[in-house]
Structure 1
Amino acid sequence: MATSSLSFSSALKQNHLRTTLSYFLKQNRCYSKLKHAKTTSSSAADFEKVADDVPTSGICRPLSEILKELNKKVPDSLVKTRVEKDGFHIRYIPWHTVNRVLNLHAPEWSGEVRNIAYSADAKSVSVVYRVTLYGTDAEIFRESTGTASTDDTNYGDPVQKAEAMAFRRACARFGLGLHLYHEEAS
């Protein structure tokens, strides 16, 4: 009886490990991300056996390659222009396009709102956003802020606008769309 419960327990562990590995790989996780699972599993041999059964996508790359791709100029077809109240034209990449570019070149990324703060007079809101990239060799993050007027409701919620601005700026700190900031300066 003890032998059958032991093999059942081992089968459960292998099934759990297989499910976990499959989930990570479906989420475009790299082998380097799975190294932690190897050290926490009960048996390294179980890990290797299961890892060999699960196909890998080969998407993940070293951080230097990801940053090289993100630093390339974004095609003009993806860049939008917005006219400010004072008539000034601003070229920008919409947040959803930035999101797709990150998914393409850096599928190992995550983002989070770190802080939301309203000004003392409640006329503006600022958001701090962090973007983290994961390569096969390292991980790196950048943060930035975005501020929107609470009076301006032309394009939606001020917090969402500030978040989108902060997200785009944090990505620009990796090089994504950074050429647009240089165009403004010249």
Structure 2
Amino acid sequence: MATVMKLLGSLGERQSHASSPSSICPIFRCISNRFYARSSKSAASKEEKLPESESEPAYEEEVIPSSGVSRPLSEILKQLNKRVPDGLIRTRVEDGFSIRYIPWHLVNRIMNLHAPEWSGEVRNITYSADGKSVSVVYRVTLYGVDAEMHRESTGTASLADTGYGDPVQKAEAMAFRRACARFGLGLHLYHDDLS
């Protein structure tokens, strides 16, 4: 890693003050930030300080992930289709029926783990004409190195039912979970309910 820092230093000396190695190529910032984060204690103990450019802010706390981010879409889908451990599944009773589900925040963490470059957005919020329910359309998009793919789904909640929080948030969480299930995440729960 010391040779990388020497290379970075020599590149920085050759460039004018307006352009640093990190402005030429983002990978230099990534390497130098990781090096700085790992070696800050050892550099302090050796009394050796790395020169910092005054025009560029220090990114001590910024960590740029590099592994697992760029993968083919087929690998991401394979991971999402795996069975979710029973310890993550919750049960609630609604209208006399026992419903097994994965809380939205756990679905979010699973998505971050297996598909770190996913995105989600609320596409539409619609209140029923009679004012008794709200429906939310949610889109989840997965990004692989070879393709991107999106799925949409809806969630509906009664405006009178505030037992599990705000009806719009409940409908959004339901739509988010269902959109992720269209990629295979937790899909086994729907099949288990049928048997």
Using the size of structure 2 for normalisation, the TM-score is 0.70
Is 1:96 the counterpart of 2:140? The answer is no
Is 1:182 the counterpart of 2:191? The answer is yes
1:119 is aligned, of 114, 128, 138, to: 128
Aligned mates of 2:64, 2:133 — CA distance in 1: 49
Cross-structure match for 2:23: 15
CA shift in 2, pair 1:98/1:21, >3 Å: farther
Cross-structure match for 1:81: 91
Q: Aligned runs of 1:6-45 on 2, under 5 Å?
A: 7-9=16-18, 11=19, 15=23, 18=26, 22=30
Q: Aligned runs of 1:152-163 on 2, under 5 Å?
A: 152-163=161-172
RMSD: 2.6
Structure with the bigger RCO (C-alpha within 8 Å, sep 6+) is 1
Cross-structure match for 2:119: 110
Gapped regions of structure 1 (runs ≥ 5): 1-5, 27-53
Aligned mates of 1:20, 1:148 — CA distance in 2: 49
Number of aligned residue pairs: give it: 150
Amino acid at match of 2:104: W
Cross-structure match for 2:74: 64
Report the CA distance between 1:57 and its aligned residue.
Answer: 1.9
Report the CA distance between 1:137 and its aligned residue.
Answer: 1.1
CA shift in 2, pair 1:184/1:20, >3 Å: farther
Q: Secondary structure of 1:154's match? A: coil
Amino acid at match of 2:186: G
Gapped regions of structure 2 (runs ≥ 5): 1-14, 35-62
What does the per-residue CA deviation read over 1:133-177, in whole Å, with 9 as the maximum and x for residues that have no partner? 111111111000000000001111000000000000000000000
What does the per-residue CA deviation read over 1:95-126, in whole Å, with 9 as the maximum and x for residues that have no partner? 00000100111111000000000000110000
Structure with greater helix share of residues: 1
Cross-structure match for 1:145: 154
Q: Secondary structure of 2:156's match? A: strand
- Higher radius of gyration, 1 or 2: 2
CA shift in 2, pair 1:19/1:159, >3 Å: farther
CA shift in 2, pair 1:112/1:55, >3 Å: closer
Q: Percent identity?
A: 72
Aligned mates of 1:105, 1:185 — CA distance in 2: 27
CA shift in 2, pair 1:127/1:153, >3 Å: same
8 Å CA contact 2:72, 2:147 repeated in 1: yes
Aligned mates of 1:145, 1:99 — CA distance in 2: 17
Report the CA distance between 1:13 and its aligned residue.
Answer: 8.8
Q: Secondary structure of 1:162's match? A: helix
